Structure 1
């Protein structure tokens, strides 16, 4: 049982170390909304979302007040819309009307983001999948709170290279249509390998078809807390360091467990999982990269970075799984460039490049996250970067992703400004050599041999 004493123990973490619950996310199944009439489908979707999630913000605020725990975001994820809209949508514009409906519903209930404008195409694309993907640029541009994700690969199915090629083109379209705002619409679009059904974090959250009708998932975040703990054992052995990180992760995850159980009780919706990812912000002292520096690196990206990140990620998971009855989602360290001041500093110092970031993604949960690249990067090069990230996830049997921002009109040396939790990002150089012939082959890269475990 969780008691108030455990909550009181976190007061200093909240007040001095940037501890927060990053999000309470309600996952909502829209499978019972499916209809061949587009107007009726949109009406059902709006009514379902606004009914199930009508008290989410109110309850989140009450928990925040009762326990003095900051809850930064209240969010919604829904069943991948390519599945929901397949019977009614005959064109990309038809799908975009569903994005409009999702946005209206999100505004009505007061959440900041809604995810699930998604397609699962790791082995092949249906006509509905392709229409949804082609609708993404306009859907994201004319909505405020809708987030989109596409699962392109899995360990069991391999990599859908046709979809990888298409997503390179779509990402450039998303960038172009929002070029007057530093191509910021790309922040709301992510591609995955092995996407989990229960991820509460945006832009990748969707409500998987293996889930129940509605569920509460919570994402916690405590880079600042872990940083302070690591600073206290400077110079100590790895054994002491690992024990310190585990104990700290346990305390942070207990806060998430408390919030999740309270939200579940008050909303009368089942508790799903706690995602114990270390999710940074641009705030001083809230950086994953700073933890790596405190472990002993001059900058993130220095030799030893991948080993340090692997150790950090593993100890956070070991501590977290003991603190919650259900851990899921991504549950690892995020290493976005724009959202982490320490990562920004490392890029600006020349300590880290895309190749090193790619190596680091082998041992953490997300991938090439919030990476700003020159706006004239070819679509095939973007697809090649995505393919590399998908391969890491497929072969290593883990979740990987890419959220790339080709900033139209910007070049290496410039930066893009997003504001708030998204911060800013320096434009990173991209390998100039072509992979077009590779990307244009078409078809699918088969699943690796170790995927056959039946």
Structure 2
């Protein structure tokens, strides 16, 4: 039986509480597109992306109309590009430009996966790939890059860390005319995950299928409103309120993800719930913590409040990834 109260609640989530599907990200396996030369590989990759992902923007727009939920970004992630360039070190830019051209052709906002996994060691080709990153980010518009420099099991590859410092500096210099924007499209990871839908760190891991849809949803404003409406709630009740709210947010993302996957002929991957803040007023993780009873973010009790929030959200998600920005800085309080 329909519950009209819950229907109106969902409408208000979108209209007043800044809830949205932050991204639909189509992950593509490009290992089958590797050829003998950089030029042939670039052509094969371009054709594969245009053929497989050509409908992603139309699908997202149709789902927006169908469900009335804003879908902010349409993105693609690919097999770590360093796997594709092993045979033509020094000519990585050829592939990068083909990827950028393909992303523009299909109309996505970003393409992630200019990625190297060097958490334990580097090959000569990996080093060449890392050295190509500044030029690639400076000469492309939609390509995003990430490098995994460490893992819990292998530790941190300090040679890669040193090289990444040089890469960041050179990227900033080469994109200085655009406020060093290239650095905003570059991320260094430890323990990088294979199915991240968010940029700039998205890439399509080798453990994934040929084509997989991963969706990222964002709803700090929704959680904030739910907490604010229950000022007298104790910790147990508060956790239950957050849990129920997170479940509703995630179900919307799952609905969109499954429909998108079916329309694109891809597998359904994961829904990544992010409480990361945006510049929109009221869309702040810090405000959630303070509404829970914290005097000020960074003060005594911050970690405890964050633990309650984290645990409550995770308890509602059964197999859904949850990520929260926990940097206790002014970035938690968008203007």
TM-score range, shorter chain: over 0.9
Matches within 5 A, 1:29-428: 29-87=29-87, 89-91=88-90, 94-321=91-318, 326-328=319-321, 331-335=322-326, 342-343=332-333
SS across alignment from 1:215: strand
Structure 1 74/7 Cα, relative in aligned 2: closer, same or farther at 3 Å?
A: farther
SS across alignment from 1:10: helix
d(CA) in 2 for partners of 1:236, 1:266: 43
d(CA) in 2 for partners of 1:144, 1:8: 40
CA apart distance, 1:180: 2.8
Aligned residue pair count: 334
CA apart distance, 1:238: 0.7
SS across alignment from 1:245: helix
SS across alignment from 2:317: helix
SS across alignment from 1:199: coil
Structure 1 7/90 Cα, relative in aligned 2: closer, same or farther at 3 Å?
A: farther
Structure 1 300/162 Cα, relative in aligned 2: closer, same or farther at 3 Å?
A: same
Structure 1 unaligned residues grouped into runs of 5+: 346-454
Moved more, 305-314 or 141-150: 305-314
CA apart distance, 1:337: 8.5
d(CA) in 1 for partners of 2:252, 2:10: 8
CA apart distance, 1:242: 0.6
SS across alignment from 2:111: strand
CA apart distance, 1:179: 2.3
CA apart distance, 1:82: 0.4
Structure 1 225/80 Cα, relative in aligned 2: closer, same or farther at 3 Å?
A: same
Aligned partners of 2:113 and 2:144 also within 8 Å:
yes
d(CA) in 1 for partners of 2:17, 2:131: 43
d(CA) in 1 for partners of 2:5, 2:236: 28
Kindly provide the CA deviation profile for residues 188-225 of structure 1, in whole angstroms up to 9, marking residues without a partner as x: 11111111110000000000000000101001110000
SS across alignment from 1:285: coil
Aligned partners of 2:19 and 2:222 also within 8 Å:
yes
CA apart distance, 1:300: 2.2
CA apart distance, 1:46: 0.4
TM-score using structure 2 length: 0.94
SS across alignment from 1:275: strand
Structure 1 169/337 Cα, relative in aligned 2: closer, same or farther at 3 Å?
A: farther
Aligned partners of 2:25 and 2:77 also within 8 Å:
yes
d(CA) in 2 for partners of 1:310, 1:128: 42
Kindly provide the CA deviation profile for residues 19-58 of structure 1, in whole angstroms up to 9, marking residues without a partner as x: 0000000000000011121110000110111111000000
CA apart distance, 1:85: 1.2
d(CA) in 2 for partners of 1:181, 1:214: 34
The root-mean-square deviation of aligned C-alpha atoms, in Å, is: 2.1
Aligned partners of 2:133 and 2:171 also within 8 Å:
yes
Aligned partners of 2:145 and 2:201 also within 8 Å:
yes
CA apart distance, 1:3: 11
